[in-house]
Amino acid sequence: MIDQPTSPGSPPTGDDKSTAVSWRSWLIVAAVATGLSILFWAPLYQGGGLIGGDIYTYFFPQKAFLADQLAAGELPLWNNRVGHGYPLVGESQTGLFYPFHLLYAVLDVNTAYNAVQLLHYILAFLFTWRYVRQLGPGDTAGVLAAIVYVYGWFPPRICLEWAILGGTWLPLALWMAEQFLTDRRRRDLAILAVTLALQLLAGHFHLAFITQLVLAAYVPGRLWLARQGLPETSVASRFRLLTATALTLVLAFGLAAVQLVPTWELKQASQRDNVSGRKYDPGYGHLPFAYWTQVVAPWKWYDAGFDHVSQIDAGPADTNQIEAHLYFGLPTIGLLLVAGLAWLRQRRIDSRLMLWCGLGALALAYTPAWHLPITRHLPGFGFFTGPGRYSIVTTLSVAVLAAAAWQWLTTRSLLIRRGGIALLVSASFFPLLTWDLWDVSRKQTYAVFMQRSLIDRVDASPVTARLRSISEQPVRLFCDYQNLPTLLGVASTPVYLGLGPAEYFDESLAMPEPLPFERTATPEQIDWLQRAGVTHILSRHPLDTAAWPVKLIERTFDPAFLQVAYHGGDVPLEFHLYELLGSRGRLAWLAPAKSTDTDRQPAVLPRTARLTSYTANRITARVESAAGGRLVLTDLVYPGWKVSIDGKPAETIRVDGMYRGVDVTAGGHDLVWTYAPSSIRIGAVISLVSLVLFVTLSLVRRGRFGLVCDQS
């Protein structure tokens, strides 16, 4: 790659062709991006997998369910495997409408998961390089920025799928915003709108929120405070440019409304409706002040397999080493120190770099969460957990500064420019930085590589085979590994949901704690399990049948799947699968009706209830009774679920605070529950209208609306 002879100290104007990038550069940088992704994640390219963190408690259960439903020809709006169900679209992290997740319809789950992750690492690298390139530094400096941003912030968080999926779009949004402010082209606004919409459709909106905050500061900052590199025509029309950018953000929300409206509906009925509610604290995942020293003293904190940050004063809430991670590489720090001293001597620095210094410092100042008593009452800040995630802005800031420093040293420093010293410095600096970040990525993460992914072993599990042989009714399993048992093809409780229906977090509705494994269950716990429709119990220890109303179905070792999930496969574990007696199951009559014949003892009148189909969005049943009564489906009551009896709408009655009940008259009847939430329809209409508006604004001629943008 050949750098342009420019530096951030003397940035090109909007008309300077030094910011143009050839296809040759694109191909070279794409090759570098792909090569680095192979270096860091070779096992994923080889068909292996990851385990650790939220991978098997959150992401794979969602993606496996999505893949199963798509294979069955259904677009799942509801997930009926986790607990008593939850709105899949509303929870958002499945990313049902995220275009990249179409891969789950054509590839196996592990391959699709790996492909999506790796592709985003490559895209994030390209977008960061191109954004920095837009500011003026050459290709090599842009590559340096991409290495710092992509392989500094993201690798430890590979156990958190949302990190790379959301973080990919921040540099692209900045590139489009910078290009729009420079060239005032309508197509840049169009790409910006699509970029922000894609980031929202990916789900888990925190990094999207951070991106929006960055743009809200960056665009006016460039137009009023850091105007270097902007043509006079842009400065003269800055109010219009700012308005156009703001309207683009609104349009992006409209394009993503099909995802956002159901999420807003769930938020109103979730544990986050009251930010001071039980089991929810927006300060979780902050970055303690003491942990800032990892930037210059990583050896103090990074020991593989040991979480140091949890051992120090955690401040306002709990945290962990992954959420609190912040590291740029010691070579990067050294580079910034050398260039910083030079800039101080010159007493002149590009105002764009000053803007990035401000953005990075503000983001870093937010990470310790000491200000939450105030900011938690602001829109967005009180909804999202993880103040440590704002360090993504600090990392990008350092990446931009490092690129500027590299450009200055290689174009302005006479010592380095002489002879082959520049080549020698590059040949040593880049491998050293890459190795440094690679080494930290192995020590500072919860993710462990597996040559054969765990999810590929599900079919070899004897527990899976036994559960699949149960045909009486859909199984609801009680197990001490949240969400993972759903990979066995059954529903499972208790649940793990970052944004979930409030019923799962209500102490009056949840099963009394603590979980009764390894101890005798209380009568209250047994009663809850039976009322909740739990049909089977999976335990690593034999249950006391004198205290538990259970019947042993199978006692087995499961080295293929469950043993690996629990203890990495090294410790043999025996699993005990029980049937829970006296359970309602999925569908049951409530208190039985009795005969009123006074000539004999009251007798229970015959009643039957049988599920005939059970899918994500639709459930059908056939019931018969001599006297009718109240029927309960032990799935969660939630807006959008409707029930009909013999084709006629019926009223849903809340049973035990959370289940779907319905009154049925005597005789035989066909019942149908369907999930067709108005939030999906409203969101889809808004997205469709926004798409039409987007296409219209992209195609109309400039003169008709008097826009400041060029037509191209």
Tokens of 283: 């300060």
Tens digits of residue pLDDT in 358-378: 999 999 999 998 888 888 888
Sign for the pseudo-dihedral over CA of 294, 325, 272, 679: positive
Tokens of 68: 């199963």
CA 241 to each of CA 136, 175, 228, 529, 632: distance values in angstroms, whole numbers, following the listed order: 21, 15, 16, 59, 57
pLDDT of residue 592: 62
Rounded distance between C-alpha atoms, residue 206 and residue 172, angstroms: 17
CA 50 to each of CA 43, 57, 129: distance values in angstroms, whole numbers, following the listed order: 9, 12, 28
pTM score of the predicted model: 0.93
- Please count the other Cβ atoms lying within 10 Å of the Cβ belonging to residue 418: 9
Question: What residue has token string 């550069």?
Answer: 25
For 469-489, what is the mean pLDDT?
93
Tokens of 177: 């915003």
CB-based contacts of 171-175 (< 8 A; 24+ apart in sequence): 171/124, 171/127, 171/128, 171/130, 171/131, 171/396, 172/123, 172/127, 172/130, 172/131, 173/199, 173/211, 173/214, 173/215, 174/131, 174/214, 174/215, 174/218, 175/127, 175/130, 175/131, 175/134
Would the pLDDT of 90 be above 80?
yes
pLDDT of residue 3: 42
Would the pLDDT of 380 be above 90?
no
Asked if 77 and 87 touch (Cβ cutoff 8 Å), the reply is: yes
User: Quick one: which of 353, 331, 342 has its CA closest to 413?
Assistant: 342
Would the pLDDT of 424 be above 90?
no
DSSP state string for 630-642: EEEEEEE--TTEE
Rounded distance between C-alpha atoms, residue 37 and residue 538, angstroms: 39
For 646-662, what is the mean pLDDT?
97
Tokens of 547: 């205290």
Question: What residue has token string 């048992």?
Answer: 485
C-alpha torsion angle, residues 185, 188, 190, 196 (rounded to 10): -150
Rounded distance between C-alpha atoms, residue 410 and residue 131, angstroms: 20
700 vs 459, higher pLDDT? 459
For 341-354, what is the mean pLDDT?
81
- Please count the other Cβ atoms lying within 10 Å of the Cβ belonging to residue 581: 12
* 283-287, 313-317, 611-615, 696-700: the lowest-pLDDT one: 313-317
* 481-490, 579-588, 694-703: the lowest-pLDDT one: 694-703
pLDDT of residue 346: 73
Would the pLDDT of 658 be above 90?
yes
Rounded distance between C-alpha atoms, residue 158 and residue 54, angstroms: 10
pLDDT of residue 7: 41
Phi, psi of 152 (to 5 degrees): -95, -50
CB-based contacts of 105-111 (< 8 A; 24+ apart in sequence): 105/67, 105/70, 105/71, 108/67, 108/456, 109/60, 109/63, 109/64, 109/67, 109/455, 110/47, 110/49, 110/453, 110/455, 110/456, 111/47
State how far Cα 476 lies from the chain centre. 26
Rounded distance between C-alpha atoms, residue 150 and residue 126, angstroms: 10
Reduce the DSSP state of residue 319 to 3 states and report it: coil
pLDDT of residue 423: 72
For 457, how many CA atoms within 13 A lie in the half-sphere containing its CB?
21
DSSP state string for 71-128: HTT---SEE-SBTT-EEHHHH-TT-TT-GGGGGGGTS-HHHHHHHHHHHHHHHHHHHH
pLDDT of residue 416: 58
pLDDT of residue 374: 86
pLDDT of residue 21: 85
pLDDT of residue 89: 96
* 76-80, 437-441, 702-706: the lowest-pLDDT one: 702-706
Question: What residue has token string 């743009």?
Answer: 215
